[in-house]
Structures are given as structure tokens and as C-alpha cells.
Amino acid sequence: MSGDSLDERLNAALAPYLRAGCLLAVSGGPDSTALMLAAAASRGPASLTVATVDHGLRPEARTEAEAVARQANVLGLSHRILVWTGPYPRAGLQAAARAARYRLLAAHAAQTGAAFLLTGHTLDDQAETVLMRLARGSGPAGLAGMRRERSLTPGLVLARPLLAFAKADLVAWCEAKAIAYQRDPSNADERFARTRLRQLRPLLEREGLTAARLARFAERAARDDDALRVIAEDALARLASKESRCLDGRALAHLPEAIALRVLDLALARAGAAEGRLERLERLLGEIRPALAAGMPLRRTFRGFLVAVGGDGTIRLAPAPPRRAAGPTELLGKG
């Protein structure tokens, strides 16, 4: 691929977003550096700002963030370093860091009035995400991988304009233009599942499981997931009360399982429940259906909500009461 054709592709990918205010999330790696350079070259009259998150996990992270700040200043772009001060969990560090990163970026986007938060995620990142979710047994929503666009907060859209670009092409683009970029040593840390899967990629590609095919699989899963969501939303409108906290359980039981799961998930989400794992939702529905068939009451606590099946077939959702503090005998296992 020639440099000119890649320039054109980058311009086309960024054009829909640069008409409005954008915040670029730039870590200093080749992907986000290419994003920043391409956006700066083709920006319009709308505001364009840059932010780098320093997670405080590596001593050199601050120096790397300052290098991004210098690059941004040369390009005439305003830059801010956002610092995550923890707390740092013992397990799930990458997930916690990712959540903190988006929280900090969303808050800064609100301050700058940005309509879009742009990240440098690539085709390779999408392929790795699909593999990770496949390994976890995800359903279609998870196997759809990273969406090109999704609402992050009210008024802010998270967009990934480079999702169709191979990382190798962006690295070559930076090197052809003598653009400096950084390498994050955590990308080679085998403690992280993404790193271990990345090392398997050459073997998988020899069997035909290329990044492009995994990305195409994600697109198809996203297409099917979107269709199922529309059907589930229509079913919920028919089965639920206005507040979505009471469901016609008997009608729910007659829905195909894939739709019933989504109706229950949507009802819980609209009631204010936190997100949860698919297998736990499957287990809950697996208990609800027999109770409905037998006309037996059932009460389960799920995602911070009390899910109660009445003898009349109505499913009611209500915030679960706070747990009673354990007394001394309970702590000793003598309750």
C-alpha cells in the first residue's frame, strides 16, 4: 500500500468526525500517533484537542505522556495529561485501568465540549478482542467486538476511526514520514491475556484465522446482535409495564431463549441494574422458566436487584435491600 493511498484512507476515515469538536486519546504508540498526525493534517474549523492518560503504573509513563504533549504542541494542538491515582486492584488491573481511562477522558471531553472521543484502535486490536471474548464464551454481543461508534456518556460518542486499518500499515506510515512513536512494554507482558493471544496470532493466521477474517466475523456478529436487540426491544415494549419493572412472565416464557434473555437483560438495565455476565443471566432464566410453568413463586437477587416471580406469572424487579451485617456467630460459621 502506497503512502498516498493510506493518507487518503485516513482522511476519509476521520472526515465524519472532524466537523465537530473532537478529543483524541493519544498514548504515544504508532496507532494513536498516526491518529493525531492524520487528524491534525485534515482538521476543519471545529476544535481538536489531545489527552494522554498516565495510569501511574510505570515510572516512564509520565515521560512518555510529556513526549506526546510536545508532539501535539508542534502540531498546534492543545494537550492535557490526565492522571489515574488508583486505587489499583490486585486482580483485573487492565480492566480497571481501561475503565479509569475512559472515565478521565469523558470528564475532560465534557470540559472541552468535545462531541467525539477518538481512539486509535486498529484491525489488530479488534481481532484480539474477538479472540479474548471467544475464549470467555461470549455471546453475539461480545463477539461483535469493539463497535466503531458507541455512546460513552450523554452527548459524547466514542469513535474508533482506525478500526479497519492494520497496525503494520500505521507503523510503516509513521516510519515513512519519520514520525517518532513509543512502544509500551506492557504489550509484551505475558501476565496479560491480550499479550498471550497476540503471540498466538502467527499460528492462527497460518490456519486462516487472520485479523481481517476475525474483524469480518465481528461485523456479522454485530449485525445479528443489532437485529436481536430490535426484536427484544419490541418484545419488552409489549411485555413490560411503563417503568419496565413488571414483566408478563408467561409471555416471556414463550419467547425464543435468545430473545427472552435479551428482554430480561434490557428490563434489568432500564431498571438501573449493573451489567453482568451472560452465563449468570442464562442461569437466572433457567430458574424462572420452570417456576412460571409450575405457577410457583421464585425470588432471586441478581445484579443488585430482587427478581420476584409471582404465582400469577408476573415478574417484578426491585432494588435488593441492603445486606444485613453479619454478627459474631455468623462470622464464625455458627449462624
What's phi and psi for 22, nearest 5 deg?
-130, 140
Contact 130, 138 (CB under 8 A): no
> Would the annotation count 335 as a binding residue?
no
> Would the annotation count 30 as a binding residue?
yes
Q: Is 41 helix (H, G, I), strand (E, B) or coil?
A: helix
> Would the annotation count 44 as a binding residue?
no
> Would the annotation count 47 as a binding residue?
no
Rounded Cα gap, residues 139 and 262, in angstroms: 11
Burial 106-124 (b: 16+ CB within 10 A, else e): bebbeeeebbbbbbbbbbb
Contact 13, 161 (CB under 8 A): yes
**Within 13 A of 136's CA, how many CA atoms are on the CB side?**
19
The cell for 113 is 465540549
> Would the annotation count 27 as a binding residue?
yes
Contact 72, 36 (CB under 8 A): yes
Q: Cell 486482580 belongs to which residue? A: 91
Binding residues: 27-32
Binding residues for ATP: 27-32
